[in-house]
């Protein structure tokens, strides 16, 4: 296998909204290589349905959006980061509108919707429940016409190039050409998404396995808040497969949740179906535990169904292809792993603890979401912090690539594909059972024991082999997710411990960092062996 060497001013890893927005902004200042391990349009952002939140008109205000975000975050948000998100977010959205982004309108004015946890109508949509898809396609069309951006698709990044706590780029494997590529860059921006596809039931594409987290962690970056995994309350339920997301915007239009007894169980909450996601998710789980069915129903039969079909054409079309007549039947829904709040710890400029390495979007832990993400803030976060990362890198990147030649090539043994897939299936089942929506010490400890056992028996003598590397890094990341859940002895936002149902104001953030001296995970300044 040959080793190809490329150079660029900026290296962007990931093709979700954060990645493509970073690439477009960086192209104003230099050459860009955008790497994605799948197709350019395969990302969680592409499937985002809910919309994007922004304060654009009175009586809405920055203060209202900030308060809604902090309240949803259950007192765990970085308030400085939230203020930046809200105020700069409005600017970023207005810029998109000026560039021609086709958000929905009523006459000449932008149409603003309402979603759970928001006090005002501030949610912009495009083509109903296809907001992420339309935004991504809109920006990708601009990337294709930008000569300073080179796109590498189907390319798997398997290591960072780091010396003396500085990142100089990445090493990647190109599937189709069976070659390793060394990309040297003055600034490397990780926008690789979250890790919710490690769960057995997820709304995200199968590529959302947390690669960016372990890439950064292996070179000394800090991982934070991995226990905070948000489950979307309403994903289409089917016995086989992950199902698909049912937009929160449907509840914003008046859809109601009913249990198997046809009781509208969210009426006991002031905001009813538009309560924050952690509240709705936990209540649905509680209802499912008290009935025979593994789902509840989202009902729109009381609404103008023709209007709903027109408002959400692709979503309703997909529902009805599964045999559901929305004019007569409820839509079967159940919670599904959706968004990872935890990730690589960064400052407000996307800086990690490694010089020259940035992170933005779902892979980053900026503190804006606290313990529970407010609906439609994720696309906004992508726009705001991807631009901030590029702006900081532009002013601080070094003038040289260095003289680094990395010869560590990746080998691929197809005989190891099935063992890896079987291991991944076991991991997803383990996470669902023991580190899902409701957690307790016994289940988390059992999961930790099993993961440690798998790590000890994992094959390490194959060198730098693709499937072994993915298996090893997946298990290490899953162990940290479980350890974080075990360490946080309280219930806050999306993290619910049945054995610690109250909030502990003294609970410290759970951080992980690899010890260069011992090769051990460091958690809260204590070394925890993962082998």
**CA 18 centroid distance within chain:** 11
Q: Is 388 an annotated catalytic residue? A: no
- Residues 530 and 489: beta-carbon distance below 8 Å: no
DSSP label at 268?
G
> Could you tell me which of 268, 230, 232, 18 has the C-alpha nearest to residue 115?
232
Coil, helix or strand at residue 280: helix
Helix (H) or strand (E) holding 16: none
Q: What are phi and psi of 414, to 5 degrees?
A: -65, -20
Angle of helix 131-143 relative to helix 378-396, nearest 10 degrees? 30
CA angle at residue 394 from 392 to 396, to 5 degrees?
Answer: 65
d(CA 338, CA 248): 12
How many CA atoms does the CB half-sphere of 476 hold within 13 Å?
26
479 Cβ partners below 8 Å, 6+ apart?
448, 451, 452, 455, 521, 530
d(CA 449, CA 225): 21
CA angle at residue 413 from 206 to 432, to 5 degrees?
Answer: 30
d(CA 28, CA 366): 25
The single residue of 92, 201, 256, 277 carrying the catalytic annotation is 277
Count of CB atoms situated within 10 Å of the CB of 317:
10
- Residues 337 and 194: beta-carbon distance below 8 Å: no
* Residues annotated as part of the active site: 277
């Amino acid at each position: 296998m040959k080793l190809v060497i490329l150079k660029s001013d900026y290296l962007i890893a990931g093709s979700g909204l954060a990645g493509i927005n970073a690439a477009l902004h960086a192209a104003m200042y230099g050459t860009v290589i955008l790497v994605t391990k799948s197709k350019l349009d395969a990302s969680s952002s592409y499937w985002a349905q809910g919309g994007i939140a922004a304060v654009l008109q009175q009586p809405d205000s920055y203060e209202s959006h900030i308060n809604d975000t902090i309240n949803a975050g259950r007192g765990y948000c970085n308030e400085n980061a939230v203020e930046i998100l809200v105020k700069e977010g409005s600017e970023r959205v207005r810029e998109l509108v000026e560039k021609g982004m086709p958000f929905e309108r009523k006459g000449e004015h932008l149409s603003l919707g309402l979603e759970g946890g928001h006090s005002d109508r501030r949610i912009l949509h495009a083509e109903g429940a296809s907001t992420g898809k339309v935004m991504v396609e809109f920006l990708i069309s601009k990337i294709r016409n930008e000569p300073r951006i080179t796109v590498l698709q189907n390319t798997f990044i398997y290591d960072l190039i780091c010396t003396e706590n500085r990142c100089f780029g990445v090493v990647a494997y190109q599937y189709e050409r069976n070659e390793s590529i060394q990309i040297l860059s003055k600034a490397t921006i990780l926008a690789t998404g979250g890790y919710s596809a490690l769960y057995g039931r997820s709304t995200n594409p199968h590529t959302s396995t947390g690669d960016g987290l372990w890439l950064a962690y292996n070179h000394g970056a800090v991982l934070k808040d991995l226990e905070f995994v948000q489950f979307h309350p309403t994903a289409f339920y089917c016995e086989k497969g992950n199902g698909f997301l049912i937009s929160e915007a449907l509840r914003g239009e008046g859809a109601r949740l009913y249990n198997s007894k046809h009781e509208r169980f969210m009426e006991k909450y002031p905001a009813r179906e538009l309560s924050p996601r952690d509240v709705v998710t936990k209540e649905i789980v509680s209802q499912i535990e008290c009935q025979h069915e593994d789902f509840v129903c989202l009902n729109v039969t009381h609404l103008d169904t023709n209007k709903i079909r027109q408002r959400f054409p692709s979503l309703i079309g997909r529902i009805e292809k599964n045999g559901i007549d929305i004019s007569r039947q409820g839509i079967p829904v159940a919670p599904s792993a959706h968004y990872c709040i935890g990730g690589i710890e960064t400052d407000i400029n996307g800086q990690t603890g490694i010089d020259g390495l940035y992170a933005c979007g779902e892979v980053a832990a900026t503190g804006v979401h606290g313990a529970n993400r407010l609906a439609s803030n994720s696309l906004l976060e992508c726009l705001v912090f991807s631009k901030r990362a590029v702006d900081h890198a532009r002013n601080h990147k070094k003038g040289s690539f260095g003289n680094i030649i990395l010869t560590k090539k990746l080998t691929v043994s197809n005989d190891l594909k099935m063992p890896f897939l079987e291991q991944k299936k076991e991991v997803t089942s383990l996470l669902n059972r023991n580190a899902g929506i409701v957690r307790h010490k016994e289940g988390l400890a059992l999961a930790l024991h099993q993961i440690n056992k798998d790590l000890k028996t994992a094959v390490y003598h194959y060198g730098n082999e693709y499937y072994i590397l993915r298996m090893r890094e997946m298990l290490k990341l899953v162990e940290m997710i479980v350890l974080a859940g075990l360490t946080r002895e309280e219930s806050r936002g999306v993290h619910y411990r049945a054995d610690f149902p109250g909030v502990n104001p003294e609970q410290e953030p759970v951080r992980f960092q690899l010890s260069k001296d011992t090769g051990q995970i460091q958690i809260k300044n204590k070394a925890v062996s993962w082998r």
